[in-house]
Amino acid sequence: MNYYFTLSLSALLLCGCAMKEVEVPSQIVEAPKPEAKMYIEEKPTKELLLKQEKESFALRSIPERSTREAIVENAMMYLGKRDGGDCSGFVNLINIRSGRPFYQEKELSQSFDNARKSRAMFNLMSKKGNAYEARLPHIGDLVFFENTERRTSKKTKGNKTPAVQVAENITHVGIVTKVESDGTVEFIHHSNGKNILDYMNFNYPMLTNKDGKKINTYMKRCPSKNGAVQPQCMNIAFFVAYGTF
């Protein structure tokens, strides 16, 4: 008897079933049909779609955000140092250390229209639609300035020496390291032989300090006028555009 019982139990287990007592109903009752909505994909709500979009945006933003942070960290490593040699050399150094987010050397070489590498950077970003001026930048963006050289470049032609005129004559470039809520933009650039921090704020063009902090600094030295602020010599006077990636 035990032998046949064991065989029966084994057969049931092989079929994926388990033995249990089953109460046989006195009459056959038809099982309820599943509701139709169990087989219909419900339309996502507006709130769900918004949540999914935010999650998707957050995931897309992670690599870009880490790249921008890396650019700033790499740039700040050279604060107060002479590395880079000049403004475009410093940006080129950080571009290489950060995995070339701004440009590849080959595409930059195709964007020269004069001898300045800063101008080529601007040309390349303009061509890509990545140069802008009407909004605040993100950290890690480039910032371009024009006509910052101490002496106006000349081109001799006969007895005349007219100044070289180039539309948006980009002569200087830096890297944005911080953007304050009041509109103050901090940037690092190579100037006067070393890498320094400077500031500009278009909301307060007649102030150099506000609430105990610098908000505007000078690109060029101006003759003293009894301590009066001279915005024509500040960074804001030479600003052209930001460049992103």
Contact indicator for 195, 78 with CB cutoff of 8 Å: yes
**Contacts (Cβ under 8 Å, ≥6 apart) of 236:** 200, 201, 202, 205, 216
**Contacts (Cβ under 8 Å, ≥6 apart) of 186:** 176, 177, 178, 179, 180, 197, 198, 199
Query: What CA–CA distance (Å, rounded) separates 123 from 117?
Result: 10
* Mean pLDDT computed over every residue of the chain: 80
- Alpha carbon 47 to its chain centroid, in Å, reads 28
Rg of the chain, C-alpha, whole Å: 33
Task: Per-residue pLDDT tens, the chain, 245 aa: give them.
Answer: 444 444 444 443 443 444 444 444 445 445 555 454 443 344 456 555 555 554 544 444 456 779 999 999 999 999 999 999 999 999 999 999 999 999 999 999 999 999 999 999 999 999 999 999 999 999 999 999 999 986 544 443 344 434 444 557 999 999 999 999 999 999 999 999 999 999 999 999 999 999 999 999 999 988 878 889 999 999 999 999 999 99
Query: What CA–CA distance (Å, rounded) separates 126 from 121?
Result: 9
How wide is the angle at C-alpha 203 spanned by C-alphas 201 and 205, nearest 5°?
A: 70
Contact indicator for 170, 146 with CB cutoff of 8 Å: yes
Q: What is the residue-wise DSSP string for 108-154?
A: HHTT-SSS-HHHHHHHHHHHTT-EE-SS---TT-EEEEES--SS--B
pLDDT of residue 149: 85
What phi and psi values does residue 13 have, to the nearest 5 degrees? -65, -35
Model's pTM, two decimal places? 0.70
